[in-house]
Amino acid sequence: MIDTTPSKSAKAQTTSQYEGTRKKQKADRPDFSDPCSLVTFIVVEDEEVEYDADEDVQNENNETGVESFNEKNREHRKIETKFIVHKEIACHYSPVWNAAFNSSFIEGQTQIYRLEDTTARAFKLLVQGLYYQELLLHQLEDTADDEERDTELTQSEDMSLAELWVLADKLSIPHIQDLALGSIHQISHKISMLCLAPLGYIYDNTTSGSKLRAYCIENLARYLKPEELETFHDLLPRELLLDLVKYNLIHSKRDGELEVSDYMDSA
């Protein structure tokens, strides 16, 4: 378990940053002067479905003496989830949406925006962030039990926060990125560990210099124990491991000369 227990000064700094962001958002919000104008978002996801082979084929195999087995087939299908949002909200917070919905392109004509590079769970959090300026997360509820960490719900939340940060980056909504990263940070401190599962997704969907990557690297460099690195290295992307080495090379230079005798058995 990666110990990420924050100091009092770190807690105070984090709280101050959150309060500053929230005050700024309160002072600059849509006034719903056009409350009847709505836009539609359609999140398209690719879902793999597994099903048994056709029973008629299996019966025919039995009749001809061919050994029958419960073969599994897989197919992909598109799942669409629709969200309806006030146009004023969407265009106020995202310059990408503002340009799309007020253009002569298909989005401007239909007031429909399709997204095929994210998930419905991430977009749900995005809508929460736009309307509430906060995210509703099971893991940050006062009643959440840390022993339930391995449940499907908490794992899904961990992934959705990474997906949310990437989505908000594409849509140029920095305060949603901050909400996502702030939640990742709060969860890592609450459960005293950094969730490793989303790291592959993060490195697949961000570039060098990404603040999300930089946060993950510093978190791991500060709190990951050598034995944990040995246990979990298979979960870590190769590029992340390289970044981790470079971080430690930069921040862990020792003073004084290298003494070769320190590494000799007979010295």
This prediction has a pTM of 0.77
pLDDT of 26 reads 53
**DSSP assignment letter at 154:** H
Is residue 163 within 8 Å of 122, Cβ to Cβ?
yes
179-202 pLDDT, tens per residue? 999 999 999 988 877 888 899 999
pLDDT of 228 reads 85
d(C-alpha 116, C-alpha 13), whole Å: 37
pLDDT of 147 reads 59
Which of 133, 139, 174, 135 lies closest to 153 in space, CA to CA?
139
Sole residue written with tokens 């996502």: 180
pLDDT of 1 reads 45
pLDDT of 225 reads 85
pLDDT of 123 reads 98
pLDDT of 232 reads 85
129-179 pLDDT, tens per residue? 999 999 999 999 877 665 555 688 888 999 999 999 999 999 999 999 999
Is residue 104 within 8 Å of 150, Cβ to Cβ?
no
Question: Strand ranges (DSSP E) for the chain?
Answer: 38-52, 72-86, 112-115
**DSSP assignment letter at 140:** G
Is residue 115 within 8 Å of 44, Cβ to Cβ?
yes
pLDDT of 176 reads 97
pLDDT of 233 reads 83
pLDDT of 12 reads 52
Alpha helices for 50-171 (secondary structure H): 55-63, 87-93, 95-101, 106-110, 120-132, 152-170
Please list the ranges in the chain whose pLDDT falls under 50: 1, 10, 14, 18, 21, 25, 27, 55, 57, 61, 64, 66-70
pLDDT of 77 reads 86
Q: Residues of 30-63 as b/e, b for ≥16 C-beta within 10 angstroms? A: beeeeeeeebebebebeeeeeeeeeeeeeeeeee
